[in-house]
Amino acid sequence: MSTSDGDGLRAAILAQPDDDTLRLIYADWLQENDQPDRAAFVRAQVAIAQAEPFGPQFRERVRAADKLQGAHPEWGQHVRQKHRALSGWFARGFIERVHVDAASFPRHAAELFAAEPVRSVQVTRFASPAGGTVSLVPFFQVPELDRVTRLDLTGLQLSESELELLADAPELVNLTDLCLRGNAVQPVWLGELLTGLAMPALAGLDLHGLVNHGPRLATVLPLLNRRLLRLDLGHIPFTSEQIKSMLESRCLREVEELRLAWMTGAGRAGVMTHLNLGWTIPWNRLRILDLSSQGVGDQGVKEIVLELTRRREPAPLRWLGLANNGIGAEGVRELVRSDPERVKLYYLDLRLNNLTLSQRAALQTRFPEAVIRYDGAE
């Protein structure tokens, strides 16, 4: 195939970014045109996307792709040098995630999106040369944002007018994931966003650290018609009744990723330590669960194992965060004795639980395919 064939394939990938077959055909074109490493990289990253997350094959393919990318830093240089992105990350063989400066992004967005199938945008804004804060009005008016599925606005300190603009931006019609960490978001605004018609595809929310949102979320989530698949409520205080009300919500029946990490050194255990985890957590589709610093202890581990074991079908849980939870010998025994057909973990975070070497060895024997993290190391 000729150079024009390669250009045509890239154009097709930009137009249909979810089609992995097009990417594999492009890999064949790369192979035929003396770019074997780039072809292997595309194939490896497509294989990553198709593998079971966190599993041995997934990790092996990640290592292979990382090795190829490390040998070719030039593959991603154009997004920084030509399109003024601060950085870019590959997924499925192409740059799909970029970190951009809010001030320069509107001027370079068209060329950036014409070069790569960008789906995820992380935004930073620096102080204006004239002093003050750079306005996000031009950013939210970029028409190419209609191709973005994930928007990370961490730490931007959005003003009330910018929050209103965010909620009303028609360009975000395809947004599935929104990160609002580090913003002084008013609970009323967030409630109106979730219950309104804006961002109709939204299925993932990262609200980590929005400490004043507990009561409002407990009221709003049970009312939602949306389906939330990913939710980070880390470091948000709740009462037992509030967290139960939320986790029983219809919108979370199919949640796949749930992060409820509590604050290390908060001086008190998290709210989950007072609840039966087996009956409180929505387990049906859950693949990732983070209960770091909740203080659930050995009893919490027992409740998790019992729930996963008693289910009719093997649970999909593969990633379990139990760092700093006061887990001791009983909790370790529960994990080690669990049914391998029912409790199948590929990632287990047990940092800050002061486990002995023999306990660590027993856990690694029980979960031979898992990455298990202990005190500060993997």
Q: What is the pLDDT of residues 82-138, one digit of tens each?
A: 899 999 999 999 999 999 999 999 999 999 999 999 999 999 998 777 667 888 999
- 277, pLDDT greater than 80: yes
Question: Residues 307-322: what's their mean pLDDT?
Answer: 94
Mean pLDDT over all residues of the chain? 94
User: Residue 44 in contact with residue 16, Cβ under 8 Å?
Assistant: no
Average pLDDT rounded to a whole number, residues 174-191? 95
Pairwise CA distance, residues 363 & 365, whole Å: 5
pLDDT of residue 126: 87
Q: Which of 5-9, 203-207, 306-310 has the lowest mean pLDDT?
A: 5-9
- Examine the pLDDT at 2 and tell me if it is beyond 70: no
Residue 359, C-beta contacts closer than 8 angstroms, at least 6 positions apart: 329, 332
Separation CA 175–CA 153 (nearest Å): 13
Q: Partners of 258 in the beta sheet?
A: 231, 289
Q: Find the mean pLDDT for residues 59-67.
A: 96
Please give the single-letter amino acid code of residue 211: V
Q: How many Å from the N-terminal Cα to the C-terminal Cα in the chain?
A: 45
pLDDT at res. 254:
97
Amino acid of residue 235: H
Contact 325, 294 (CB under 8 A): yes
Helix (H) or strand (E) holding 244: helix 240-247
pLDDT at 3: 62
What does the pLDDT read at residue 377? 47
User: What value does the mean pLDDT take over residues 65-86?
Assistant: 94
Q: What is the pLDDT of residue 69?
A: 96
In degrees to the nearest 10, what's the CA dihedral of 363, 368, 369, 370? Answer: 20
Contact 124, 86 (CB under 8 A): yes
281 closest CA partner among 312, 244, 228, 318 = 244
Predicted pLDDT of residue 95 = 97
